[in-house]
Amino acid sequence: MTETDYYSLLEVERTADGATIKSAYRKLAMKYHPDRTGGCTDSEAKFKAVSEAYECLKDPQKRAAYDRYGHAAYTNAQNGGGGGGFRGQAGGFSDLGDIFETIFGQSGFGGAGGRQQQRRGADLRYDLEISLDEAYHGKQTQIEIEVSAACDSCDGSGAQPGTGVKTCATCHGHGQVRAQQGFFVVERTCPSCHGAGQVIESPCRSCRGEGRVDKPKSLSVTIPAGVDEGTRIRLSGEGEAGARGAPAGDLYIFLHVKRHAIFERDGTTLFCRAPVSFTTAALGGIIEVPGLDGSRHEIKIPVGIQSGKQIRQRGAGMPVLNGRGHGDLVIQVDVETPTRLTAKQRELLEAFRETETGEECPQSTGFFSKLKDMWGD
């Protein structure tokens, strides 16, 4: 059976606004109302028809669905539901639209065409190794990558120069096709245009219609002072180009800091082990430790320091990333026992040992005293 167009029933243009549609309905409703026509069967049918049309077109959601799908939207929405057109179903299309938007990422009953947004290019990762000195000072460096970039021949459109694109015949430009599943109408990405809504008449020979080709690319990268292992630098729009002119993705540079010959790092704190002669450890003194800033730090060794003790130099560590100030430098003292003695040195040490009373090294004295107690000696 042929369905009469709702706009024709209300005698309005398809571009009519809500007020015009309402006014037209009131005029026709008064004309065909059963109380005015004395129960005329034809007038009663006409009254029901214009009422049904008005119930659809007065609601923006229902009107959008009707504009897009015609009476098919009306029929599918009511399958298995009792009848009466859109009447008694207020909010029904809005709720279904919310469900489809949740499941498929967009409304299945939208009024603005279902064409998918252009899919941006993929994000890329690049691993860059730097030294601890470079992490301390920061640096400007160049990297070379192989990346999909916009095709120069077609300027990223994917179409052969001099040709264009046309509306997809499968989805008629919507980017999606509809399928009936029970009493639901499901929209899926169009298999012909892959959601673009358009197809290329003559694909570019250089990129085969993709709009992008692989090519080498040189990029300048600024590494700020204070970066650490795993620090990530994002270069917006320097990733893979999107297909057919879609936006490019981003490039993420992951930094890896090489081990240093002297220093170890924990956040902004630098650690180093400094060997100290046993005479300096006993008598105290000054040692020099080079810093990553190029200066020499004088570290005061207190009298009688023990091996493994730590001395902290404030502000001599790594710079704070994107902030102010520096961390600390921590020196761990390793007392070194001499292994090569001259005859004179041995003689002096022998003389020193003869003068020992046990009070010079309280820790060893206490330790051996405990051993004697255990042995009962």
Answer yes or no: is 193 a known binding residue: yes
Dihedral in degrees, nearest 10, Cα atoms 150, 153, 158, 159: 160
Handedness of CA 165, 122, 120, 179 (dihedral sign): positive
CA 371 from chain centre, in angstroms, equals 63
What backbone torsions phi and psi does residue 305 show, to the nearest 5 degrees? -65, 145
Answer yes or no: is 151 a known binding residue: yes
Answer yes or no: is 272 a known binding residue: no
Answer yes or no: is 171 a known binding residue: yes
Answer yes or no: is 361 a known binding residue: no
With 0-12 CB in 10 A as exposed, 13-18 as middle and 19+ as buried, what is 181?
exposed
Answer yes or no: is 56 a known binding residue: no
With CA atoms as reference, report the closest residue to 273 among 329, 330, 332, 328: 332
Residue showing tokens 């358009």:
198
What backbone torsions phi and psi does residue 332 show, to the nearest 5 degrees? -95, 125
Residue showing tokens 């021949």:
153
CA 69, CA 371: separation in Å to the nearest integer? 96
In order, the DSSP letters of 335-367 are EEPPS---HHHHHHHHHHHHT--SSS-HHHHHH
With CA atoms as reference, report the closest residue to 73 among 43, 57, 103, 118: 57
CB 184 within 8 A of CB 73: no
Answer yes or no: is 207 a known binding residue: yes
Answer yes or no: is 40 a known binding residue: no
CB 64 within 8 A of CB 109: yes
Residue showing tokens 């085969």:
208
CA 137 from chain centre, in angstroms, equals 28
Bind-site residues = 151, 154, 168, 171, 190, 193, 204, 207
Bind-site residues for Zn(2+) = 151, 154, 168, 171, 190, 193, 204, 207
